[in-house]
Amino acid sequence: VAATINSDDLLPESNMEYTKRLITDIEKSIIADEKLGSNEMPSNNDTTRIGQRRYKRRSQMLISEHFSETTVTPGVDVNLHCTVNGPHPARFVWERDNIVISSNTDSRYIIGQTMTLDGGVTTQLNISHIRVDDGGLYACVAHQGETIIAHQDRVNVYGPPYIRTLPPFKVQSGQSVTLRCPYYGYPIREIIWEHQGKEIAKDATHQAHRYKRFINDTALSVEIFGRKPKLRQKRDATVSRDGVLNIAKVTKSDNGAAYACIVKSPSGEMAKRSFELQVVEAPQLEEILLASDLREGQIVQIHCNLKSGDSPVYYSWLKDGKKIPTHLKIVERSLEVFSVLIIKNVSLEHCGTYTCVAANHVAKVNRTVNLYIKVAPKWSEEPHNTSLLLGRNGHVSCSANGYPQPQTHWLKKDVISDTWRPVLEVAGGGVLSLSNGSLIFDAVALSDAGLYTCHVENGVGDPLSKTIWISVNKPVTFDMVSRNLTAKLGQHITIECQAKGDDPIRIMWTRNAKPINPLIQ
Protein backbone atom coordinates (compact mmCIF):
# COMPACT_ATOMS: atom_id res chain seq x y z
CA VAL A 1 0.00 0.00 0.00
CA ALA A 2 1.42 3.37 -0.94
CA ALA A 3 1.18 6.10 1.64
CA THR A 4 -0.74 9.14 0.50
CA ILE A 5 1.01 12.37 -0.26
CA ASN A 6 0.03 13.63 3.18
CA SER A 7 1.46 10.64 5.02
CA ASP A 8 3.98 11.34 7.71
CA ASP A 9 4.57 7.73 8.59
CA LEU A 10 5.45 5.42 5.74
CA LEU A 11 8.66 4.68 3.94
CA PRO A 12 8.95 1.78 1.47
CA GLU A 13 11.88 -0.32 2.55
CA SER A 14 12.89 -1.11 -1.01
CA ASN A 15 13.59 2.50 -1.89
CA MET A 16 16.91 2.77 -0.05
CA GLU A 17 18.13 5.74 -2.10
CA TYR A 18 15.11 7.63 -0.85
CA THR A 19 15.86 6.58 2.73
CA LYS A 20 19.44 7.86 2.56
CA ARG A 21 18.30 11.13 1.01
CA LEU A 22 15.85 11.72 3.85
CA ILE A 23 18.48 11.02 6.49
CA THR A 24 20.79 13.52 4.80
CA ASP A 25 17.94 16.04 4.86
CA ILE A 26 17.82 15.63 8.64
CA GLU A 27 21.33 17.02 8.97
CA LYS A 28 20.60 19.83 6.52
CA SER A 29 17.51 20.72 8.51
CA ILE A 30 19.46 21.04 11.78
CA ILE A 31 22.14 23.14 10.07
CA ALA A 32 19.53 25.39 8.46
CA ASP A 33 17.69 25.88 11.76
CA GLU A 34 20.97 26.72 13.47
CA LYS A 35 21.76 29.39 10.86
CA LEU A 36 18.32 30.94 11.17
CA GLY A 37 18.51 30.97 14.94
CA SER A 38 15.46 28.77 15.02
CA ASN A 39 14.44 26.75 18.04
CA GLU A 40 12.71 24.13 15.89
CA MET A 41 15.48 21.59 16.38
CA PRO A 42 14.14 18.91 18.69
CA SER A 43 15.37 18.85 22.23
CA ASN A 44 17.25 15.88 23.61
CA ASN A 45 15.56 12.69 22.50
CA ASP A 46 12.81 14.67 20.77
CA THR A 47 11.39 12.69 17.86
CA THR A 48 10.66 13.90 14.35
CA ARG A 49 9.13 11.60 11.78
CA ILE A 50 11.19 11.03 8.66
CA GLY A 51 8.20 10.66 6.38
CA GLN A 52 7.02 14.16 7.20
CA ARG A 53 8.30 15.90 4.12
CA ARG A 54 5.39 17.14 2.04
CA TYR A 55 3.34 20.24 2.73
CA LYS A 56 5.35 20.71 5.91
CA ARG A 57 7.19 23.90 5.09
CA ARG A 58 5.77 26.86 3.25
CA SER A 59 7.74 29.61 1.55
CA GLN A 60 7.44 31.87 -1.45
CA MET A 61 7.56 28.80 -3.70
CA LEU A 62 4.15 28.19 -5.31
CA ILE A 63 2.73 25.70 -7.81
CA SER A 64 1.00 28.06 -10.24
CA GLU A 65 -0.10 25.43 -12.79
CA HIS A 66 -0.59 21.68 -12.53
CA PHE A 67 -2.19 18.70 -14.21
CA SER A 68 -5.64 17.42 -13.27
CA GLU A 69 -7.18 13.97 -13.03
CA THR A 70 -7.41 12.47 -16.48
CA THR A 71 -9.01 9.35 -17.92
CA VAL A 72 -7.69 7.86 -21.17
CA THR A 73 -7.80 4.71 -23.25
CA PRO A 74 -4.71 2.53 -23.74
CA GLY A 75 -2.36 3.52 -26.56
CA VAL A 76 -2.63 7.30 -26.38
CA ASP A 77 0.14 9.68 -25.31
CA VAL A 78 -0.27 11.50 -22.00
CA ASN A 79 1.43 14.71 -20.91
CA LEU A 80 1.51 15.81 -17.27
CA HIS A 81 3.02 19.11 -16.19
CA CYS A 82 3.57 21.34 -13.16
CA THR A 83 4.83 24.94 -13.03
CA VAL A 84 6.49 26.35 -9.93
CA ASN A 85 7.30 30.00 -9.27
CA GLY A 86 9.72 30.98 -6.56
CA PRO A 87 12.83 33.00 -5.70
CA HIS A 88 15.09 30.24 -7.04
CA PRO A 89 14.67 27.47 -9.64
CA ALA A 90 13.11 24.33 -8.20
CA ARG A 91 14.27 20.72 -8.54
CA PHE A 92 11.51 18.28 -9.47
CA VAL A 93 10.78 14.63 -8.75
CA TRP A 94 7.90 12.69 -10.30
CA GLU A 95 6.22 9.85 -8.42
CA ARG A 96 3.57 7.24 -9.15
CA ASP A 97 1.85 5.77 -6.12
CA ASN A 98 4.65 7.29 -4.03
CA ILE A 99 7.41 5.50 -5.93
CA VAL A 100 9.93 7.78 -7.63
CA ILE A 101 9.88 7.71 -11.43
CA SER A 102 13.35 7.71 -13.00
CA SER A 103 14.83 7.23 -16.44
CA ASN A 104 15.09 3.53 -15.59
CA THR A 105 11.38 3.16 -14.83
CA ASP A 106 10.33 2.77 -18.47
CA SER A 107 11.71 4.03 -21.78
CA ARG A 108 8.23 5.37 -22.55
CA TYR A 109 8.57 7.82 -19.66
CA ILE A 110 10.36 11.06 -20.58
CA ILE A 111 10.85 13.85 -18.04
CA GLY A 112 11.64 17.38 -19.24
CA GLN A 113 12.04 20.82 -17.75
CA THR A 114 11.73 24.35 -19.22
CA MET A 115 11.78 27.95 -18.01
CA THR A 116 8.70 30.13 -18.30
CA LEU A 117 8.67 33.79 -19.36
CA ASP A 118 7.90 34.95 -15.82
CA GLY A 119 10.86 33.08 -14.33
CA GLY A 120 9.02 29.95 -13.28
CA VAL A 121 10.06 26.38 -13.98
CA THR A 122 7.83 23.85 -15.72
CA THR A 123 8.38 20.12 -15.50
CA GLN A 124 6.73 17.67 -17.90
CA LEU A 125 6.20 13.94 -17.70
CA ASN A 126 5.41 12.44 -21.10
CA ILE A 127 4.10 8.87 -21.29
CA SER A 128 4.05 7.34 -24.76
CA HIS A 129 1.51 4.69 -25.73
CA ILE A 130 0.04 4.51 -22.26
CA ARG A 131 -0.92 1.09 -20.89
CA VAL A 132 -3.38 0.02 -18.24
CA ASP A 133 -0.61 -0.56 -15.71
CA ASP A 134 0.56 3.06 -16.15
CA GLY A 135 -2.52 4.19 -14.24
CA GLY A 136 -2.24 5.36 -10.66
CA LEU A 137 -1.76 8.38 -8.42
CA TYR A 138 0.86 10.71 -9.92
CA ALA A 139 2.64 13.50 -8.07
CA CYS A 140 5.09 16.22 -9.05
CA VAL A 141 7.26 17.13 -6.06
CA ALA A 142 9.22 20.41 -6.11
CA HIS A 143 12.33 20.89 -3.97
CA GLN A 144 13.83 24.32 -3.33
CA GLY A 145 16.42 24.35 -0.58
CA GLU A 146 14.66 23.07 2.52
CA THR A 147 11.19 23.69 1.09
CA ILE A 148 9.14 20.89 -0.51
CA ILE A 149 5.72 21.29 -2.12
CA ALA A 150 3.76 18.86 -4.29
CA HIS A 151 0.64 18.27 -6.35
CA GLN A 152 -1.01 14.90 -6.95
CA ASP A 153 -3.85 13.58 -9.10
CA ARG A 154 -4.91 10.32 -10.72
CA VAL A 155 -4.30 9.08 -14.23
CA ASN A 156 -7.01 6.55 -15.05
CA VAL A 157 -6.55 4.11 -17.92
CA TYR A 158 -9.48 1.99 -19.06
CA GLY A 159 -8.92 -1.64 -18.17
CA PRO A 160 -9.47 -4.32 -15.53
CA PRO A 161 -8.51 -3.54 -11.92
CA TYR A 162 -5.14 -4.55 -10.53
CA ILE A 163 -3.16 -3.71 -7.40
CA ARG A 164 0.58 -3.17 -7.36
CA THR A 165 2.90 -5.13 -5.10
CA LEU A 166 4.76 -3.10 -2.52
CA PRO A 167 7.13 -4.16 0.27
CA PRO A 168 6.05 -3.95 3.92
CA PHE A 169 5.55 -0.45 5.22
CA LYS A 170 7.61 0.74 8.14
CA VAL A 171 5.47 2.69 10.58
CA GLN A 172 6.56 4.53 13.70
CA SER A 173 5.13 3.11 16.89
CA GLY A 174 2.58 5.40 18.49
CA GLN A 175 1.74 7.23 15.27
CA SER A 176 -1.29 7.16 13.01
CA VAL A 177 -1.11 5.54 9.58
CA THR A 178 -2.69 6.52 6.28
CA LEU A 179 -2.78 3.93 3.49
CA ARG A 180 -3.88 4.45 -0.09
CA CYS A 181 -4.44 1.39 -2.25
CA PRO A 182 -1.97 1.45 -5.20
CA TYR A 183 -4.44 0.23 -7.79
CA TYR A 184 -4.90 0.88 -11.47
CA GLY A 185 -7.64 0.12 -13.96
CA TYR A 186 -10.85 1.98 -14.81
CA PRO A 187 -13.69 2.31 -14.06
CA ILE A 188 -13.63 1.32 -10.40
CA ARG A 189 -16.89 0.83 -8.55
CA GLU A 190 -15.65 0.20 -5.03
CA ILE A 191 -12.52 0.10 -2.85
CA ILE A 192 -12.75 -2.11 0.24
CA TRP A 193 -10.27 -2.67 3.06
CA GLU A 194 -10.18 -5.80 5.22
CA HIS A 195 -8.38 -6.73 8.41
CA GLN A 196 -8.28 -10.33 9.63
CA GLY A 197 -10.87 -11.23 7.02
CA LYS A 198 -13.38 -8.60 8.15
CA GLU A 199 -14.34 -5.59 6.12
CA ILE A 200 -13.57 -2.19 7.60
CA ALA A 201 -16.67 -0.07 7.33
CA LYS A 202 -16.43 3.28 5.59
CA ASP A 203 -16.50 6.30 7.86
CA ALA A 204 -16.97 4.11 10.92
CA THR A 205 -14.79 2.81 13.68
CA HIS A 206 -13.57 -0.72 13.04
CA GLN A 207 -13.49 -2.94 16.11
CA ALA A 208 -10.90 -5.59 15.45
CA HIS A 209 -11.69 -7.66 18.56
CA ARG A 210 -14.73 -9.41 20.00
CA TYR A 211 -14.86 -8.21 23.58
CA LYS A 212 -14.84 -4.62 24.67
CA ARG A 213 -15.12 -2.79 27.97
CA PHE A 214 -14.49 0.74 29.18
CA ILE A 215 -12.10 1.67 31.98
CA ASN A 216 -11.53 5.35 32.88
CA ASP A 217 -13.24 6.40 29.63
CA THR A 218 -10.59 4.56 27.62
CA ALA A 219 -11.82 1.90 25.22
CA LEU A 220 -10.03 -1.36 25.90
CA SER A 221 -10.46 -4.79 24.37
CA VAL A 222 -9.82 -8.27 25.70
CA GLU A 223 -8.30 -10.74 23.28
CA ILE A 224 -8.88 -14.41 24.07
CA PHE A 225 -5.91 -16.68 23.34
CA GLY A 226 -6.58 -20.10 24.83
CA ARG A 227 -7.13 -19.57 28.55
CA LYS A 228 -5.01 -16.43 28.97
CA PRO A 229 -6.84 -13.24 28.00
CA LYS A 230 -4.79 -10.14 27.19
CA LEU A 231 -5.96 -6.62 27.91
CA ARG A 232 -4.94 -4.09 25.26
CA GLN A 233 -6.08 -0.90 23.62
CA LYS A 234 -8.36 -1.36 20.65
CA ARG A 235 -7.17 -0.29 17.24
CA ASP A 236 -9.45 2.17 15.41
CA ALA A 237 -9.45 1.99 11.62
CA THR A 238 -11.60 3.99 9.25
CA VAL A 239 -11.97 4.13 5.48
CA SER A 240 -12.73 7.44 3.82
CA ARG A 241 -15.16 7.78 0.97
CA ASP A 242 -12.33 7.73 -1.59
CA GLY A 243 -10.99 4.46 -0.20
CA VAL A 244 -8.16 5.74 1.99
CA LEU A 245 -7.49 3.66 5.11
CA ASN A 246 -6.66 5.52 8.32
CA ILE A 247 -5.38 3.66 11.39
CA ALA A 248 -5.47 5.76 14.54
CA LYS A 249 -2.48 4.59 16.56
CA VAL A 250 -0.21 1.61 16.11
CA THR A 251 1.92 -0.08 18.75
CA LYS A 252 4.70 -2.62 18.64
CA SER A 253 2.10 -5.37 19.07
CA ASP A 254 0.67 -4.39 15.67
CA ASN A 255 3.91 -5.39 13.98
CA GLY A 256 3.17 -7.79 11.13
CA ALA A 257 -0.51 -6.86 10.91
CA ALA A 258 -1.91 -7.42 7.42
CA TYR A 259 -4.48 -5.26 5.68
CA ALA A 260 -6.08 -6.30 2.41
CA CYS A 261 -7.26 -3.93 -0.29
CA ILE A 262 -10.04 -5.08 -2.64
CA VAL A 263 -10.85 -3.15 -5.80
CA LYS A 264 -13.99 -3.96 -7.80
CA SER A 265 -15.11 -2.82 -11.24
CA PRO A 266 -18.75 -2.28 -12.29
CA SER A 267 -18.61 -5.49 -14.34
CA GLY A 268 -17.67 -7.54 -11.28
CA GLU A 269 -13.94 -7.88 -11.91
CA MET A 270 -11.97 -7.79 -8.70
CA ALA A 271 -8.37 -7.40 -7.54
CA LYS A 272 -7.14 -8.09 -4.01
CA ARG A 273 -3.78 -7.72 -2.33
CA SER A 274 -2.59 -7.78 1.27
CA PHE A 275 -0.03 -5.41 2.71
CA GLU A 276 1.99 -5.78 5.88
CA LEU A 277 2.73 -3.15 8.49
CA GLN A 278 6.09 -3.25 10.20
CA VAL A 279 5.96 -1.18 13.36
CA VAL A 280 9.34 0.38 14.05
CA GLU A 281 10.36 1.87 17.37
CA ALA A 282 11.94 5.29 17.08
CA PRO A 283 15.52 5.48 18.38
CA GLN A 284 16.17 6.78 21.87
CA LEU A 285 19.60 7.93 22.96
CA GLU A 286 21.25 7.95 26.34
CA GLU A 287 22.53 11.23 27.72
CA ILE A 288 26.05 12.04 26.51
CA LEU A 289 28.40 12.45 29.46
CA LEU A 290 31.87 13.98 29.47
CA ALA A 291 34.40 14.38 32.25
CA SER A 292 34.65 17.88 33.69
CA ASP A 293 38.44 17.89 34.13
CA LEU A 294 39.55 17.35 30.54
CA ARG A 295 42.88 18.93 29.68
CA GLU A 296 44.67 19.85 26.51
CA GLY A 297 46.55 17.00 24.85
CA GLN A 298 44.40 14.21 26.29
CA ILE A 299 42.46 11.61 24.31
CA VAL A 300 38.74 12.42 24.36
CA GLN A 301 35.94 10.04 23.35
CA ILE A 302 32.38 11.30 22.92
CA HIS A 303 29.98 8.34 23.08
CA CYS A 304 26.46 8.39 21.66
CA ASN A 305 24.71 5.24 22.92
CA LEU A 306 21.42 3.86 21.66
CA LYS A 307 19.03 3.10 24.53
CA SER A 308 16.24 1.62 22.40
CA GLY A 309 14.93 1.60 18.85
CA ASP A 310 14.80 -0.68 15.84
CA SER A 311 17.64 -1.16 13.39
CA PRO A 312 19.05 -0.03 11.13
CA VAL A 313 20.06 3.17 12.87
CA TYR A 314 22.17 5.72 11.03
CA TYR A 315 24.42 8.11 12.96
CA SER A 316 25.86 11.48 12.08
CA TRP A 317 27.55 14.27 14.04
CA LEU A 318 27.50 18.05 14.02
CA LYS A 319 29.77 20.58 15.71
CA ASP A 320 28.21 23.91 16.57
CA GLY A 321 25.33 23.04 14.23
CA LYS A 322 27.57 22.36 11.23
CA LYS A 323 29.44 19.47 9.67
CA ILE A 324 32.59 18.66 11.63
CA PRO A 325 35.56 20.27 9.80
CA THR A 326 38.09 17.76 8.50
CA HIS A 327 41.07 19.77 9.72
CA LEU A 328 40.08 18.95 13.31
CA LYS A 329 41.09 15.32 12.58
CA ILE A 330 38.20 13.87 14.57
CA VAL A 331 37.64 10.15 13.95
CA GLU A 332 34.08 8.77 13.91
CA ARG A 333 33.30 5.11 14.57
CA SER A 334 29.74 3.77 14.42
CA LEU A 335 28.20 0.37 15.08
CA GLU A 336 24.57 -0.70 15.38
CA VAL A 337 24.06 0.48 18.95
CA PHE A 338 26.48 3.38 19.35
CA SER A 339 28.62 5.98 17.65
CA VAL A 340 31.77 7.53 19.06
CA LEU A 341 33.95 10.51 18.21
CA ILE A 342 37.66 10.09 18.97
CA ILE A 343 39.89 13.13 19.45
CA LYS A 344 43.45 11.90 19.95
CA ASN A 345 45.05 15.21 20.91
CA VAL A 346 42.35 17.55 22.13
CA SER A 347 43.02 21.26 21.87
CA LEU A 348 41.21 24.55 22.30
CA GLU A 349 39.87 24.50 18.72
CA HIS A 350 38.01 21.25 19.47
CA CYS A 351 35.86 22.97 22.10
CA GLY A 352 32.22 23.55 21.20
CA THR A 353 28.79 21.94 21.05
CA TYR A 354 28.57 18.44 19.56
CA THR A 355 25.27 16.95 18.38
CA CYS A 356 24.73 13.25 17.74
CA VAL A 357 21.90 12.54 15.28
CA ALA A 358 20.43 9.03 15.18
CA ALA A 359 17.84 8.10 12.57
CA ASN A 360 16.07 4.96 11.44
CA HIS A 361 13.34 4.40 8.86
CA VAL A 362 10.67 6.27 10.81
CA ALA A 363 12.22 8.89 13.08
CA LYS A 364 15.31 10.73 14.19
CA VAL A 365 16.51 11.96 17.57
CA ASN A 366 19.51 13.92 18.74
CA ARG A 367 21.59 14.45 21.84
CA THR A 368 23.87 17.42 22.47
CA VAL A 369 26.90 17.86 24.70
CA ASN A 370 29.30 20.73 25.30
CA LEU A 371 33.01 19.92 25.11
CA TYR A 372 35.25 22.24 27.07
CA ILE A 373 38.79 21.44 28.11
CA LYS A 374 41.16 23.17 30.49
CA VAL A 375 44.00 24.79 28.57
CA ALA A 376 46.94 26.52 30.21
CA PRO A 377 47.59 30.07 29.00
CA LYS A 378 49.66 30.53 25.85
CA TRP A 379 50.92 33.81 24.52
CA SER A 380 48.93 35.21 21.65
CA GLU A 381 50.64 38.61 21.92
CA GLU A 382 53.71 38.66 24.14
CA PRO A 383 54.81 42.08 25.45
CA HIS A 384 58.24 43.49 24.57
CA ASN A 385 60.39 46.45 25.61
CA THR A 386 58.67 49.57 24.36
CA SER A 387 59.48 53.25 23.89
CA LEU A 388 56.69 55.78 24.34
CA LEU A 389 56.68 59.45 23.39
CA LEU A 390 56.28 62.05 26.07
CA GLY A 391 52.82 63.63 26.03
CA ARG A 392 51.46 61.28 23.41
CA ASN A 393 49.06 58.33 23.73
CA GLY A 394 50.70 54.99 24.48
CA HIS A 395 49.68 51.36 24.06
CA VAL A 396 51.31 48.10 25.19
CA SER A 397 49.74 44.72 24.32
CA CYS A 398 49.74 41.58 26.44
CA SER A 399 47.27 38.76 25.67
CA ALA A 400 47.03 34.98 25.91
CA ASN A 401 44.67 32.17 24.93
CA GLY A 402 43.42 29.38 27.17
CA TYR A 403 40.38 27.94 28.89
CA PRO A 404 39.00 29.21 31.16
CA GLN A 405 39.71 32.62 29.66
CA PRO A 406 42.99 33.83 31.21
CA GLN A 407 43.01 36.90 33.43
CA THR A 408 45.70 39.53 32.80
CA HIS A 409 47.26 41.76 35.48
CA TRP A 410 49.89 44.48 35.04
CA LEU A 411 52.42 45.24 37.78
CA LYS A 412 54.98 48.06 37.98
CA LYS A 413 58.09 48.17 40.09
CA ASP A 414 58.00 51.00 42.60
CA VAL A 415 61.45 52.59 42.52
CA ILE A 416 60.97 54.01 45.99
CA SER A 417 59.92 50.85 47.84
CA ASP A 418 61.58 48.48 45.33
CA THR A 419 58.41 46.35 45.30
CA TRP A 420 55.99 45.27 42.62
CA ARG A 421 52.58 46.88 42.84
CA PRO A 422 49.47 46.92 40.62
CA VAL A 423 50.10 49.40 37.85
CA LEU A 424 47.00 51.44 38.63
CA GLU A 425 48.27 52.08 42.18
CA VAL A 426 51.68 53.23 41.03
CA ALA A 427 51.00 55.04 37.79
CA GLY A 428 48.04 57.04 39.01
CA GLY A 429 45.55 58.62 36.64
CA GLY A 430 45.81 58.44 32.89
CA VAL A 431 46.66 54.72 32.78
CA LEU A 432 44.10 52.01 31.98
CA SER A 433 44.46 48.24 32.11
CA LEU A 434 41.86 46.70 29.77
CA SER A 435 40.30 43.24 30.11
CA ASN A 436 42.03 42.10 26.91
CA GLY A 437 45.42 42.77 28.51
CA SER A 438 46.19 46.08 26.82
CA LEU A 439 47.89 48.79 28.86
CA ILE A 440 46.73 52.24 27.75
CA PHE A 441 48.46 55.54 28.54
CA ASP A 442 46.30 58.60 27.99
CA ALA A 443 49.19 61.08 28.00
CA VAL A 444 52.64 59.61 28.61
CA ALA A 445 54.56 61.24 31.46
CA LEU A 446 58.21 60.89 32.43
CA SER A 447 57.09 59.03 35.54
CA ASP A 448 55.59 56.29 33.37
CA ALA A 449 59.04 54.97 32.52
CA GLY A 450 60.16 51.86 34.38
CA LEU A 451 59.85 48.11 34.74
CA TYR A 452 56.47 46.49 34.07
CA THR A 453 55.36 42.88 34.42
CA CYS A 454 52.40 41.31 32.61
CA HIS A 455 51.01 38.38 34.61
CA VAL A 456 48.54 35.92 32.98
CA GLU A 457 46.81 32.98 34.68
CA ASN A 458 43.61 30.90 34.50
CA GLY A 459 44.17 28.28 37.20
CA VAL A 460 45.46 25.69 34.72
CA GLY A 461 49.14 24.89 34.51
CA ASP A 462 51.82 27.48 35.19
CA PRO A 463 50.95 31.16 34.84
CA LEU A 464 52.69 33.31 32.25
CA SER A 465 54.79 36.28 33.25
CA LYS A 466 56.88 38.72 31.21
CA THR A 467 58.84 41.75 32.47
CA ILE A 468 59.56 44.60 30.09
CA TRP A 469 61.15 48.05 30.24
CA ILE A 470 59.07 50.99 29.11
CA SER A 471 61.13 54.07 28.29
CA VAL A 472 59.76 57.57 27.70
CA ASN A 473 61.38 59.57 24.92
CA LYS A 474 61.07 63.28 24.37
CA PRO A 475 59.88 63.98 20.84
CA VAL A 476 61.79 66.48 18.69
CA THR A 477 60.71 70.09 19.20
CA PHE A 478 61.91 73.49 18.00
CA ASP A 479 62.10 76.61 20.12
CA MET A 480 61.45 78.62 16.98
CA VAL A 481 59.22 77.12 14.34
CA SER A 482 59.96 79.72 11.61
CA ARG A 483 62.30 82.69 11.10
CA ASN A 484 62.97 85.24 8.36
CA LEU A 485 66.56 86.37 7.59
CA THR A 486 67.61 89.35 5.45
CA ALA A 487 71.08 89.48 3.85
CA LYS A 488 72.94 91.48 1.20
CA LEU A 489 73.61 89.91 -2.11
CA GLY A 490 76.90 88.06 -1.98
CA GLN A 491 77.06 88.15 1.82
CA HIS A 492 77.96 84.92 3.71
CA ILE A 493 75.31 83.92 6.27
CA THR A 494 74.84 81.07 8.74
CA ILE A 495 71.42 79.64 9.56
CA GLU A 496 71.13 77.55 12.70
CA CYS A 497 68.54 74.80 13.40
CA GLN A 498 68.33 73.93 17.08
CA ALA A 499 66.20 70.85 17.85
CA LYS A 500 65.42 69.48 21.29
CA GLY A 501 64.58 65.91 22.20
CA ASP A 502 66.16 62.57 23.01
CA ASP A 503 68.97 61.30 20.83
CA PRO A 504 69.38 60.25 18.16
CA ILE A 505 68.17 63.35 16.31
CA ARG A 506 68.71 63.60 12.55
CA ILE A 507 68.31 66.93 10.80
CA MET A 508 67.66 67.48 7.11
CA TRP A 509 67.69 70.82 5.27
CA THR A 510 65.49 71.53 2.29
CA ARG A 511 65.05 74.50 -0.05
CA ASN A 512 61.73 74.79 -1.80
CA ALA A 513 60.96 71.25 -0.54
CA LYS A 514 64.14 69.84 -2.11
CA PRO A 515 67.12 68.53 -0.12
CA ILE A 516 70.12 70.85 -0.33
CA ASN A 517 72.70 68.72 1.47
CA PRO A 518 73.06 65.24 3.08
CA LEU A 519 71.79 64.38 6.53
CA ILE A 520 73.98 65.74 9.28
CA GLN A 521 74.19 64.98 12.95
**How confident is the model over 127-176, as pLDDT tens digits?**
999 999 999 999 999 998 878 999 999 999 999 999 999 888 888 988 88
pLDDT score recorded for residue 10: 36
383 close to 469: Cβ distance less than 8 angstroms: no
Distance CA 351, CA 302 (A): 12
206 close to 200: Cβ distance less than 8 angstroms: yes
Q: Find the mean pLDDT for residues 112-117.
A: 90
For the entire predicted model, the pTM comes to: 0.57
pLDDT score recorded for residue 203: 63
122 close to 82: Cβ distance less than 8 angstroms: yes
How many residues does the structure list for the chain?
Answer: 521
Burial 89-98 (b: 16+ CB within 10 A, else e): ebebbbbbbb
* Top-confidence residue, 135 or 444: 135
pLDDT score recorded for residue 292: 86
Least confident of 7-11, 81-85, 264-268: 7-11
Q: Which domains, and CATH codes, for the chain? A: 170-280 (2.60.40.10), 284-371 (2.60.40.10), 375-473 (2.60.40.10)
What tens digit of pLDDT does each residue of 197-223 get? 899 887 644 443 333 333 333 333 333
420: Cβ contacts below 8 Å, ≥ 6 apart: 411, 412, 413, 414, 453
Q: What is the CA radius of gyration of the chain?
A: 39
**In which region does residue 435 sit, left (phi positive, over 0), alpha (psi from -120 to 50) or beta (all else)?**
alpha
pLDDT score recorded for residue 31: 42
What tens digit of pLDDT does each residue of 77-95 get? 999 999 999 888 889 999 9
Distance CA 519, CA 505 (A): 10
Half-sphere exposure for 515 (CA within 13 Å, toward CB): 6
pLDDT score recorded for residue 241: 80
Distance CA 243, CA 448 (A): 91
Neighbours of 278 (CB within 10 A): 17
Q: Find the mean pLDDT for residues 255-277.
A: 94
Going by C-alpha positions, the residue among 193, 179, 174 that lies closest to residue 249 is 174
